[in-house]
Structure 1
């Protein structure tokens, strides 16, 4: 396993982080023709088929009895709830605020791992939590005049989505999924979330999806093909060859790309408070995920 990030790996990380950061912008655009639950159902169903094809191509075994069914369904439910909340929240708040608040997920994971997995919070991680909290305070100090009258509801949904993300991660860490192929875990998440999205769309009576402009259609393709299938598979390939902590420390770039993309592509307003908030959350992510000790490869 490599102990350093070479230029090619760093380039792939930047591509993944930029792609994930722009996801909120894509969701916001797609909401013009496809409801939040319907988006989840479509993107997850498309990605499920693509990842199944990838696994078949690579000969990855998926249907062996390995004790992952029950935790897999639980992780899939948490994943589905996360994105239902995230997509619903984007109807009320801006993509830039959502991008910052969603990335509270790593901090919930750090606290949860301390409480339930025995992964102690050291000084660096505590500092990261404190820095990120300061960033969240700045987010809410910006007010909601430009986010809409119900921005607090959207912000709350984004925070709840970050908690669901953390629950998903902690479940994977604590169950048989930790030893399962990463693609199998991803398929649990995608397949179950597709069912959840469809069920929520039917219960809420969401209108049938439409594609009023080509941009809406391409935004949906971006989510289902590029984000949910391609970048996740790239990430799993990187995790196989590099320490996960080393890679996770680099994900501080994601909320930065999220805010920049929302400002440039959606015309959302920028302010020094928003810039400060995303900087603080990014630094916090780096501190929480920074590897404390890297053993050189033999």
Structure 2
């Protein structure tokens, strides 16, 4: 394995892991440790506007990539429809749910809850895919992972009351389920598509969806905080464009199995950055729940992890996975 590929892997984990921090900053969070504060009296993004502009900047970045790479776009209606489905369930909906949820919960918790995507993916695959069933070992991993999820969400549970924290946590869990649905759909319906074209088309449909929904949901008032704009530009160009390009570069160099090890990295990065830079609180339940989720994912994907540690064969193509 080349040192460059490991560098790309770590950079990808850092970009995706820190996306949760920048989502928080774009909606009013500050980084006092770094001296990055919103000017007094300035305004920041609401969740709909943030996602719309994030996708717009990501799309502009992909336009630049396409200007340098000649690509053939699909014309078959069912393929275009599949991209529209992915634009909704792999990007627009989960981006919005995570962003909306983070108005109510910490970024560190959101990153861990989003890390449950592999658990939901294997549950859905059991009913949707013919060659990816839940075995006894995987069932044990699912139980461990979901116990961790219950600990994470249950720490804010109040009998007979639906608190803001619980609603925010459930929104991020719903985003993880949406990503899992999209992953299984992509596996069945978008195999063999160009990664660059797939990324562009998904971002395009997602931004069209959000551009249509945003005027109905929020006032069309542009934020005045430079820090909020920096956060959204970062999320678009790096979190939604560069991250996918790094991901596809790793797919070609390592193959899909080893590349998906990044799902073990970004929740930890999101957890650490939220605690250190946003001064978010942490208690034993956050660490215990997070540890159980990670262990559950390791058990569920034990065979894949073993394959990932073996010498990799280059992969010609593979389908995309989500990014925050």
TM-score relative to the length of structure 1: 0.89
Tell me, in whole angstroms, the C-alpha distance in 2 between the residues paired with 1:68 and 1:287: 34
The alpha carbon displacement at 1:108 in A equals 1.2
Contact 1:35–1:207, Cα closer than 8 Å, also in 2? no
Aligned CA distance change for structure 1 residues 258 and 112 (closer, same or farther; 3 Å): same
2:55 is matched with 44
Aligned CA distance change for structure 1 residues 286 and 51 (closer, same or farther; 3 Å): farther
Tell me, in whole angstroms, the C-alpha distance in 2 between the residues paired with 1:144 and 1:253: 28
Aligned CA distance change for structure 1 residues 131 and 187 (closer, same or farther; 3 Å): same
What does residue range 145-294 of structure 1 map to in structure 2 within 5 Å? 149-175=163-189, 177-212=190-225, 214-290=226-302, 291=304, 293=307
Contact 2:122–2:134, Cα closer than 8 Å, also in 1? yes
The alpha carbon displacement at 1:135 in A equals 1.5
The alpha carbon displacement at 1:205 in A equals 2.8
Aligned CA distance change for structure 1 residues 264 and 296 (closer, same or farther; 3 Å): closer
The alpha carbon displacement at 1:295 in A equals 7.1
1:55 is matched with 66
Contact 1:105–1:165, Cα closer than 8 Å, also in 2? yes
Moved more, 156-165 or 64-73: 64-73
The alpha carbon displacement at 1:167 in A equals 1.4
Equivalent of residue 132 in structure 1, options 122, 126, 145:
145
TM-score relative to the length of structure 2: 0.82
1:70 is matched with 81
1:89 is matched with 101
Tell me, in whole angstroms, the C-alpha distance in 1 between the residues paired with 2:252 and 2:288: 34
CA deviation map 1:142-170 (0-9, x unaligned): 3379xx95111101111111111111111
* Structure 2 unaligned residues grouped into runs of 5+: 29-43, 315-324
**Considering only aligned residues, what root-mean-square deviation do their CA atoms show, in Å?**
2.3
Moved more, 91-100 or 223-232: 91-100
Tell me, in whole angstroms, the C-alpha distance in 2 between the residues paired with 1:144 and 1:193: 33
Tell me, in whole angstroms, the C-alpha distance in 2 between the residues paired with 1:65 and 1:182: 17
Tell me, in whole angstroms, the C-alpha distance in 2 between the residues paired with 1:269 and 1:98: 13
The alpha carbon displacement at 1:64 in A equals 4.8
Contact 2:59–2:203, Cα closer than 8 Å, also in 1? yes
The alpha carbon displacement at 1:132 in A equals 1.4
Tell me, in whole angstroms, the C-alpha distance in 1 between the residues paired with 2:258 and 2:206: 29
Contact 1:127–1:287, Cα closer than 8 Å, also in 2? yes
Tell me, in whole angstroms, the C-alpha distance in 1 between the residues paired with 2:80 and 2:155: 44
Contact 1:249–1:289, Cα closer than 8 Å, also in 2? no
